[in-house]
Structure 1
């Protein structure tokens, strides 16, 4: 589990500098990537916020077996 946490921190740091690249690494070529590219073109900060949201949202376990 610690390795996953360290890679997540590195991905968050990458998202600070290159938001679309971090979203591509986490989610692939999906609508999230296109949204992030658009937000980054409109302004760097919205792109960073969206990339952090995508990274943190997709890293949490879901379902009934997820610890509370």
Structure 2
């Protein structure tokens, strides 16, 4: 995982997931998790970008 990916995963989780997976289920799930709370979105982004 690159430094840019880690920073994006923390600051803008949906953008980091979009860069890795594109527009799809993981991206939509991350948007939902980020709207529910910032921390679940960050955790999901870090897992997806592993």
TM-score (norm 2): 0.93
Say if 2:40 is the partner of 1:15.
no
Paired residues in the alignment total 50
- Which structure's residues are more often helix, by fraction? 2
Correspondence for 2:45: 51
Correspondence for 2:32: 38
TM-score (norm 1): 0.70
Large movers: runs of 4+ above 6 Å: none
In structure 2, runs of 5+ residues without a counterpart are none
Q: Which has the larger radius of gyration?
A: 1
